[in-house]
Structures are given as structure tokens and as C-alpha cells.
């Protein structure tokens, strides 16, 4: 029997319209009353990550998703190209302690970067710590490290499966062997050494109850001192505030060893307090220094009782001031670098100079000043991009930094403060031709008339015919700025013929605290309006069209994608929310979620509930709506934004989806919010994401082998 071509095409089209069959998800009769508004929460049971029913649901969802993704013909070629591109040597910014230089290196496809130590940067040196030996699948990561001033001891924190929890250990640099020291249940903490190397300060929480490690609320953080060679039970409690359980506390010893700084924060509020202890006087008390909680304060360094402080006090774009210990009130401050038209992004004190990074329209420039605030020179950068990781000490004559842009792989530079010249220390070799691509910055108008910047990256000679597959990325929150950076995943998208668009939405820090304030709390809708306006601009200017437009974001950016796809399901061709905050009515009930109230507010108050309820992605999914093809990403060990957000959102989306477009969830096992994810998992995830997007947008791709 012969089948005509028309019959075959008709059958294929019919199959494409058949809705997907998803695993059955139990709906419970759970209803909450928020100030007289009844809100159903039928998938509340998915919040229990340890329950057998939840684990069975995860397994069933992954089975459906895996079958869908593995059937996409282009996935193999995408994964092969990702793997080849990712296989390049890359380095971290080196730093010096004592006679030793320390730096991270990944030879290409290693799951985790390896820590090296050397006495001469012309030599590779030796391996000091290789996290790849700590687990077979690369899911144990080096999350933090600190070296004693003499360079003899390394305190290093490891995390398992992407969790925010850190276990601290201590390694002897000379022998490369661990001492017996071990510290557990530390989180959101570094390690700051006493200048004599006798021990270090760190922050920790009480051990969680059984079964609560990944979802229990984190409060009452405390600062401890660990003396080398002792057990954690003997660590000295340095500072706690049981009267303020929401206070986050961190400790830092100044470079001269004189002062212990206690940094206090309240959630993610862009304000803090600083307390001081004079370590030159045994038994001295911890006293307030900058304790009005009226601005952001960062101590850059000090000369005795004089502190150099970066602050946005009376300066939304930040300034650098000198503050005397005995005259901490703002009327007595001396301004060294005043607020300018650009945001003062960071200041480092190296070689008795101030290295200042400015942010101009979401990209960066660097200047060097003397300690009186007089400008000495610019540090010329290769192109429009981002500077990171300036390292160096007061006594050094050199410093190191990284520079990156969309098509400029992260390159490490050495800066000589004597000559004022930069030179390449390590330049990666990546298998692509950067001159084939171009970066533009445009400004579009949001709903309320605000001008918003957006970067556009594509192959040169792009035709503006509305048919270009385009990925629009955003974040828009917590004073975090999006600046140009290199990524293999983005590069692969560009090679597939895609346009990459990154919008600098309100809520971020691109233009200072006023820009941040314009996208938080009752103004949060501005962020979604900005993102929607970015999509509309791309369509109106013929870069793309709705069937060819995908949106992507992670964490707060996952919320962004969730909110925009529920508000404008007609606008997008595919949605890719990663580890998103999807249940805005309950985010504060898990791990560190309560800390985000400064950006979001809380459903515990009537006014905030009304604001949150209007845009919360979970509660704004509606039955009978044709939502775009959606692939939700999360990790079963995400203890930052617990996976229940994504679980519940995916379950509701599958129940409400009226069209044939897939509504899938990809749940990575033994993985968390993203930090420390091994290279192998990054490649697999990227291959799945691009394969899904290629299918959703109907792309025809051709990739180098």
C-alpha cells in the first residue's frame, strides 16, 4: 500500500498536535486564607523532598523528559560541539601569600578546577588540591578557600551535590596533606585568618534537624574562631545576636592584622552594619563602628584607625570615603573619590594605590588612584566587557585581573604598578573565530517610558527579516548587574545561528541603588514590563518573531521567565526557567528564602500579599491557556531556591496547558542551585536545553564536528 506525501504530512501534523501525556500528579485539598483571599495549593506535598511520593514523582517526570529530549535528532551534534568547545585550558586569577602563588586551572573537561601552588609563575607548580579526586562524578566542589598570610596553611570549604552547606578542612601547603581540622554546618561564609596563622574566623549555623538540611530555615548565624589543631566543639563563639535572628554575620581580619571586622546584614537588603574589635589589645570588646543600617558599607583597607570605605550613603552610585575610628559620623568623613556619572563597582587597595572599577552602561572600565583620591592612570581594556578578580596586597608591586566579554574568553592579565602596563598572563585557546561575531548595545523604551539597555550578539551580516532564532536573557533583581561575559553555551547558540540578547532590567545594580529600587517590592512589575518590552523591541525591529523567540533566566531570573510567560503567553516561542522562585507566597518558609523579603516583600503582610499574588508564577497559571513550549530546570540538592518551587510550577503547568506544546521539567540529581556543578553535568544540561529550543523554535542547524 502506497502512502501519498500529502497523507504523510497530514499525519505528521496531526501527531504534532496531540497533547503530551504526563505522569499523574496527585492534587490535595490544601487551601490557604490570605487576608480573606482563598488560595489553593494542591501540590503542597511536593515540598517534602524526602517523601517517597515526591521521589517517585521526580523519577517519573525525568523519565518523560528524558524520552522527549533523547528523541530530538540534533541533540547529539549539539552535545558533540559543546564538548569540543568546552575542552580548552582555563585559569583563575592567581594570588600571592608568603612566597607562594596560588591559582586554579582546568585542563578542559575536568569536572572541577584544580588548585595549584608555585613559587614562580613561569612554572606550573604542583597540585595542592584536586577536587576531582573527592567524588567519582565530580559533584564535590571546592566552594571557598583562604590561605594564611605566610602561605603555609590552606583553609578550604567543600560542598557536596551543589549544596550551600560548606565543610571546612585545613591543608598543609608544604606537604599537601590535610590536618585533622574539620568544621561542619557553615554556610554563606569565608575563612579569615589571624595574621599569625594560629586560626581563622568563620560563620556557621546550628546543625539542622534530621531531614531538614535541604529545606530547613537558616537563621541565627554566628561567628566563631577555629584554632588550628583543635576540634570544632572547642571553637570559640565570637559574636552572635539571638535578639536579631535574621542578622547575617561574617568576619574579616584587616590586612595589617590589627582589626577584626564583623559585617552584619539583614537578608538581601542593600544595607549593613560594621562592628570592630582591636586585635592588638587582648580581650578588647566588639564595638559598633558603622551601625546605623542606613547604607551599604565595604571596608577597602585601613591605615591604623583610618578606614577606607566604599558606600552609597548619600551617593546612589557609590563613593569612596575615609573614616576615622573615633569620628564615624558622616559629617566627619573625607571623600576621596566622589560619586560620578558611572557606578563605582569595586575598589581594591593594591601597591598602596586604589584600583577602581567603574560600570558604564553595564560594561566596565578601570582607573588607578593614589590614596588621596588623585587619579593616576587608566588600565586599558581590550574591548567592551567585564573585569573581575583583582588580586594583590598593599606591599605588592603587581596585581592580577581577569577580563571577559561575549566573544572574548576570560583572559588573565598581570598589571605592573611600577610601569603601569598590563600583560597577558594566561590566554585561553578556544575553537572558534571571534571575528565572525559582533556585539551591539541598544536602548529600548519600557512600558513607563524608562530607557533600558540591551546587548545583542550575533554573527556579522545578520539579516533583519524577523526569522532569526533569538534567546532573550535577563535577571532584574537583588542589585545584581549583568555585564558581558564569555560562555561556551552562549557561543554554541551563536554558532547555531542564534541571536543572543541580554537585557539590563531594573532591579539590578547597573545604574546604582535607584535602579535597584525601581525593580523591587511594589515596583517589581517594572522588571517584567522591561523584559516584555525587550521582547517586543526585538520583534518590532525584525530581529526575530514570536515563534523564534526563547526566554531564559535563572533563580530570580527563573521568576522573571515564569512571570512573563504567565502574563504574556502569546509573546514567546519557548520558555526556559532555571531554578526559579515560582511560589511567591511561600518562598520565605525554606532555607534562606526569608532573606529575600527585602526585594520581594512577604505574603505575611496584606499589602505585599496583594503585590505578590498578582505576579507569582505558580498562582497565575490558568487552565485553558496555550502556554509556549517550556522546559523547567532544577536540582534535587538546591537548598537556595528549593526544588519545590519548580516541582509545583511544572505540575500546575502540565495540568493547565491547553495546547500541544510540551511542559517538561528536568530535575538534575545530586545538583544544587548551580555553583560547583561539574563540567560533565553542565554539558549535558546545555545539550538538553539547546536541543529543546531547536525543536521548539523549528531551527535548522549546522555545527562544526
What is the enclosing helix (H) or strand (E) of 598?
helix 597-600
Q: What is d(CA 403, CA 413) in angstroms, rounded to the nearest whole number? A: 8
Q: Tell me the Cα Rg of the chain.
A: 26
For residues 163 and 185, the answer to whether their CB atoms sit within 8 Å is no
Gap between the Cα atoms of 297 and 320, Å rounded: 10
Grouping H, G, I as helix, E, B as strand and the rest as coil, residue 79 is: helix
CA pair distance 609, 589, nearest whole angstrom: 15
The one catalytic residue in 100, 263, 363, 673 is 673
Q: Is 194 helix (H, G, I), strand (E, B) or coil?
A: coil
* Listed residue (264, 290, 260) closest to 276, CA to CA: 260
Cell 554573527 -> residue: 459
Cβ(669)–Cβ(155) under 8 Å? no
Q: Answer for the pair 583, 566: CB distance below 8 angstroms, yes or no.
A: no
Torsion of CA 505, 506, 509, 512, to 10 degrees: 140
Start-end of H helices in 282-388 = none
Cα separation, 62 vs 58, in Å, equals 6
DSSP annotation of 78 reads H
Q: Is 384 helix (H, G, I), strand (E, B) or coil?
A: coil
Active site residue 555: yes
- Which three cell numbers mark 62? 525525568
Buried b (16+ CB within 10 A) or exposed e, 272-288: bbbbbbbbeeeeeeeee
- Strand 549-554 with 574-578, pairing: parallel
Please state at what angle helix 556-567 crosses helix 525-540, rounded to 10 degrees.
Answer: 70
Catalytic residue among 186, 203, 410, 555: 555
Q: How far apart (Å, rounded) are the C-alpha atoms in residues 356 and 315?
A: 16
What does the longest C-alpha to C-alpha distance in the chain come to? 96
Antiparallel, parallel or unpaired: β 192-193 and 100-106: unpaired
Residues tagged active-site? 555, 673
Amino acid at each position: 500500500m502506497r502512502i501519498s506525501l500529502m497523507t504523510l504530512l497530514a499525519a505528521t501534523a496531526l501527531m504534532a498536535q496531540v497533547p503530551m501525556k504526563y505522569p499523574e500528579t496527585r492534587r490535595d485539598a490544601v487551601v490557604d486564607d490570605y487576608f480573606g483571599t482563598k488560595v489553593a495549593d494542591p501540590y503542597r506535598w511536593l515540598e517534602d523532598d524526602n517523601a517517597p511520593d515526591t521521589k517517585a514523582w521526580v523519577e517519573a517526570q525525568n523519565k518523560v523528559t528524558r524520552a522527549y529530549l533523547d528523541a530530538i535528532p540534533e541533540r547529539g551534534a549539539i552535545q558533540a560541539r559543546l564538548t569540543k568547545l568546552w575542552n580548552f585550558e582555563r585559569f583563575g586569577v592567581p594570588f600571592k601569600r608568603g612566597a607562594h602563588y596560588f591559582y586554579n586551572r582546568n585542563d578542559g573537561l575536568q569536572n572541577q578546577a584544580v588548585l595549584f601552588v608555585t613559587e614562580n609563575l613561569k612554572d606550573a607548580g604542583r597540585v595542592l588540591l584536586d577536587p576531582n579526586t573527592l567524588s567519582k562524578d565530580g559533584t564535590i566542589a571546592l566552594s571557598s578557600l583562604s590561605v594564611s598570610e605566610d602561605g603555609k596553611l590552606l583553609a578550604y570549604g567543600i560542598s557536596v551535590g551543589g549544596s550551600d552547606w560548606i565543610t571546612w578542612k585545613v591543608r598543609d601547603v608544604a606537604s599537601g596533606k590535610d590536618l585533622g581540622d574539620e568544621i561542619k554546618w557553615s554556610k554563606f561564609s569565608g575563612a579569615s585568618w589571624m595574621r599569625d596563622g594560629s586560626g581563622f574566623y568563620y560563620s556557621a549555623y546550628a546543625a539542622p534537624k534530621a531531614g531538614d538540611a535541604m529545606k530547613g530555615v537558616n537563621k541565627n548565624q554566628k561567628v566563631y574562631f577555629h584554632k588550628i589543631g583543635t576540634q570544632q566543639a572547642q571553637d570559640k563563639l565570637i559574636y552572635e545576636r539571638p535578639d536579631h535572628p535574621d542578622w547575617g554575620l561574617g568576619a574579616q581580619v584587616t590586612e595589617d592584622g590589627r582589626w577584626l571586622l564583623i559585617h552584619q546584614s539583614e537578608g538581601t537588603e542593600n544595607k549593613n552594619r560594621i562592628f570592630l574589635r582591636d586585635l592588638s589589645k587582648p580581650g578588647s570588646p566588639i564595638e559598633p563602628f558603622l551601625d546605623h543600617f542606613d547604607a551599604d558599607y565595604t571596608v577597602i583597607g585601613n591605615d591604623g584607625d583610618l578606614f577606607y570605605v566604599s558606600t552609597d550613603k548619600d551617593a546612589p552610585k557609590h563613593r569612596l570615603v575615609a573614616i576615622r575610628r573615633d569620628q564615624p559620623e558622616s559629617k566627619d568623613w573625607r571623600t576621596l573619590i566622589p560619586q560620578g556619572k558611572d557606578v563605582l563597582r569595586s575598589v581594591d587597595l593594591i601597591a598602596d594605590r586604589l584600583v577602581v572599577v567603574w560600570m558604564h552602561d553595564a560594561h566596565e572600565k578601570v582607573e588607578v588612584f593614589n590614596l588621596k583620591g588623585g587619579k593616576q592612570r587608566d588600565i586599558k581594556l581590550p574591548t567592551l566587557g567585564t573585569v573581575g578578580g583583582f588580586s594583590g596586597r598593599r606591599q605588592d608591586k603587581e596585581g592580577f585581573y581577569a577580563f571577559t566579554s561575549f566573544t572574548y574568553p576570560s583572559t588573565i592579565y598581570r598589571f605592573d604598578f611600577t610601569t603601569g602596563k598590563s600583560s597577558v598572563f594566561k590566554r585561553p585557546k578556544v575553537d572558534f573565530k571571534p571575528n565572525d561575531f559582533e556585539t551591539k548595545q541598544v536602548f529600548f523604551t519600557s512600558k513607563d517610558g524608562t530607557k533600558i539597555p540591551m546587548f545583542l550578539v550575533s554573527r556579522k551580516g545578520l539579516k533583519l527579516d524577523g526569522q532569526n532564532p533569538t534567546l532573550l536573557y535577563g535577571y532584574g533583581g537583588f542589585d545584581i548587574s549583568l555585564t558581558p561575559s564569555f560562555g561556551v553555551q552562549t557561543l554554541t547558540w551563536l554558532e547555531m545561528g542564534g541571536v543572543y540578547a541580554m537585557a539590563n532590567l531594573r532591579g539590578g545594580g547597573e545604574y546604582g541603588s535607584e535602579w535597584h529600587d525601581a525593580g523591587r517590592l511594589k515596583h517589581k512589575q517594572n522588571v517584567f514590563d522591561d523584559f516584555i518590552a525587550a521582547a517586543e523591541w526585538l520583534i518590532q525591529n525584525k530581529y526575530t518573531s514570536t515563534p523564534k523567540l526563547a526566554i531564559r533566566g535563572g533563580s530570580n531570573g527563573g521568576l522573571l521567565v515564569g512571570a512573563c510567560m504567565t502574563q504574556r503567553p502569546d509573546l514567546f516561542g519557548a520558555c526556559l526557567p532555571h531554578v526559579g522562585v515560582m511560589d511567591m507566597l511561600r518562598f520565605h518558609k525554606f532555607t534562606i528564602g526569608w532573606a529575600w523579603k527585602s526585594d520581594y516583600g512577604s505574603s505575611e503582610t496584606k499589602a505585599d500579599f496583594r503585590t505578590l499574588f498578582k505576579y507569582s508564577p505558580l498562582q497565575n497559571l490558568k487552565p485553558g491557556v496555550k502556554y509556549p513550549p517550556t522546559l523547567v530546570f532544577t536540582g534535587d540538592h538546591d537548598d537556595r531556591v528549593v526544588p519545590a518551587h519548580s516541582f509545583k510550577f511544572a505540575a500546575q503547568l502540565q495540568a493547565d496547558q491547553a495546547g500541544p506544546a510540551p511542559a517538561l521539567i528536568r530535575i538534575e540529581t545530586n545538583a544544587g542551585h548551580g555553583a560547583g556543578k561539574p563540567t560533565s553535568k553542565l554539558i549535558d544540561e546545555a545539550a538538553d536545553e539547546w536541543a529543546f529550543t531547536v525543536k521548539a523554535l523549528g531551527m535548522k542547524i549546522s555545527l562544526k564536528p
